[in-house]
């Protein structure tokens, strides 16, 4: 499957600007307003490509109705050739691309380079907003591309074949450092491939070989913290002709939202309590019978609640 392309043609493609910054949620829309590819529309990660009002991880999957309205408002048709770009070397264009592929847009692609490089190459840009007639497109959703928490649990339990691939950094995968989620660790049995290894000079490399991680026909579910960076790894795997891929959009943040979900980690088996409050929590959990991974998971969760109270 061809996923990444380099084009500066604004006549024969519909362009979608997916620039975003997790540390500054208004940066993407502001950058689009300042300048963008001629004819492009902007899709925001949190306003358009996620349903932030629902449960299901930190960047929950939009409903099919929400996606249909998004595509119709953009004036898209299933036969359109579409290129999505962001600032380059980021996962936001991949998130939009995956949603388009999930919805049946077979001619959707990711620009291998970001906006600044597209501009350097001579693509037409503007500050004016493009307007398109609302379409009546009805997506042909491919549910086989989406993994739910239940699907992942089936793999963890050995009831379904599949490889879980964690796209986060090795430190987060190992549970050594978790700067975002309340519980450190990984989904049991997952393999690790840090998606950021695929980026060089704000562009995606597609020359990586994944034979030590995954075989081309081996079924796999890709996840990260919230389903965003995993889309980038998913896209490169698809480019390398890996066929049986699913994206767990809820990802690790959804997995740990169920307190019965087990996690793995590469740390000491016993959690550390730093002060009297956390020592009291740890003592209570041990008294209640928690041990091993479940003790660590429950302790990390309750410790996060104490931190929220500060």
Residues tagged active-site: 224
Q: Could you give the CA distance from residue 168 to residue 151 in angstroms, rounded to a whole number? A: 20
Q: Is 125:35 a contact under the CB 8 Å cutoff?
A: yes
Instruction: Find, among 147, 155, 232, the residue nearest to 187 by Cα.
Output: 155
Q: Could you give the CA distance from residue 181 to residue 201 in angstroms, rounded to a whole number? A: 29
Q: How many Cβ atoms are within 10 Å of 131's Cβ, its own excluded?
A: 7
**Under 8 Å CB-to-CB from 150, ≥6 apart: which residues?**
none
**Under 8 Å CB-to-CB from 242, ≥6 apart: which residues?**
210, 214, 216, 218, 220
Q: Could you give the CA distance from residue 309 to residue 306 in angstroms, rounded to a whole number? A: 5
Q: Is 36:115 a contact under the CB 8 Å cutoff?
A: yes
Residue 274, token pair as written in the block: 């730093």
Each residue of 47-64: b (16+ CB within 10 Å) or e?
ebbbbeeeebbbbbbbee
End-to-end CA distance of the chain: 50
DSSP-derived letter for residue 140 is -
Q: Is 248:223 a contact under the CB 8 Å cutoff?
A: yes
Residue 139, token pair as written in the block: 């997506």
């Amino acid at each position: 499957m061809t996923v990444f392309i380099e084009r500066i043609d604004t006549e024969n493609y519909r362009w979608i600007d997916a620039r975003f910054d997790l540390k500054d949620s208004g940066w993407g829309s502001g950058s689009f307003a300042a300048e963008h590819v001629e004819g492009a529309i902007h899709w925001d990660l949190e306003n358009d490509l996620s349903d932030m009002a629902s449960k299901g991880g930190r960047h929950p999957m939009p409903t099919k109705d929400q996606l249909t309205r998004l595509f119709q408002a953009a004036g898209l048709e299933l036969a359109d050739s579409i290129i999505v770009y962001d600032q380059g070397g980021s996962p936001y264009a991949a998130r939009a691309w995956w949603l388009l592929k999930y919805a049946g847009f077979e001619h959707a692609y990711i620009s291998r380079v970001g906006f600044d490089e597209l501009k350097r190459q001579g693509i037409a840009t503007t500050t004016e907003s493009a307007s398109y007639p609302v379409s009546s497109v009805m997506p042909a959703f491919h549910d086989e591309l989406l993994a739910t928490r239940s699907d992942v649990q089936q793999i963890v339990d050995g009831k379904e074949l599949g490889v879980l691939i964690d796209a986060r950094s090795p430190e987060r995968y190992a549970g050594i450092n978790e700067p975002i989620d309340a519980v450190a660790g990984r989904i049991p049995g997952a393999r690790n491939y840090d998606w950021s290894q695929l980026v060089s000079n704000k562009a995606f490399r597609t020359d990586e070989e994944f034979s030590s991680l995954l075989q081309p026909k081996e079924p796999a579910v890709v996840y990260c913290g919230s389903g965003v960076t995993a889309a980038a790894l998913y896209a490169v795997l698809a480019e390398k002709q890996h066929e049986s891929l699913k994206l767990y959009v809820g990802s690790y943040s959804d997995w740990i939202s169920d307190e019965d979900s087990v996690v793995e980690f590469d740390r000491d088996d016993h959690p550390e309590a730093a002060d009297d409050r956390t020592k009291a929590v740890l003592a209570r959990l041990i008294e209640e019978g928690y041990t091993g991974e479940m003790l660590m998971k429950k302790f990390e969760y309750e410790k996060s609640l104490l931190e929220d109270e500060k």
